[in-house]
Amino acid sequence: AQSVTQLDSQVPVFEEAPVELRCNYSSSVSVYLFWYVQYPNQGLQLLLKYLSGSTLVKGINGFEAEFNKSQTSFHLRKPSVHISDTAEYFCAVLKGNFNKFYFGSGTKLNVKP
């Protein structure tokens, strides 16, 4: 069975501080990994994706993520957050047959001034 675990449902952080949002997946086959961001009452917007190659992936808005196969993790990081980063972040995996995305339960990032 495929599953995506986001360990933190909420992460409060002060503006300009670094942040890490954790994501672990379970899969016995190769997967593609994604991070999406969702602002209130909006759809999901892609932040970054890992398909193959370099395990450090850079995305939009200064976010990056590192694929760690041995730990089956794909944690999202940003060295300095802004108020505008306040949103919900979803980790997702796409299995080898590319049929559907499996999403984690989301992490709400709350950036405080």
Partner 1 sequence: DTGVSQDPRHKITKRGQNVTFRCDPISEHNRLYWYRQTLGQGPEFLTYFQNEAQLEKSRLLSDRFSAERPKGSFSTLEIQRTEQGDSAMYLCASSLTSEVNTEAFFGQGTRLTVV
Tokens linked to 48: 């970054």
28, 43, 54, 113: which one binds partner 1 (CB under 8 A): 43
> How crowded is residue 19: how many other Cβ atoms within 10 Å of its Cβ?
20
The nearer residue to partner 1, 4 or 65, going by C-beta atoms, is 4
Round to whole Å and give the CA distance between 110 and 62.
17
The nearer residue to partner 1, 62 or 103, going by C-beta atoms, is 103
The residue range among 19-27, 61-69, 71-79, 87-95 that interacts with partner 1, by the rule CB under 8 A, is: 87-95
Place of tokens 């995996």: 93
The residue range among 21-29, 60-68, 71-79, 90-98 that interacts with partner 1, by the rule CB under 8 A, is: 90-98
3-state DSSP assignment of residue 61: helix
Round to whole Å and give the CA distance between 32 and 97.
10
Which positions touch partner 1 (CB under 8 A)?
4, 6, 9, 32, 34, 36, 41-46, 49, 51, 90, 92, 94, 98-106
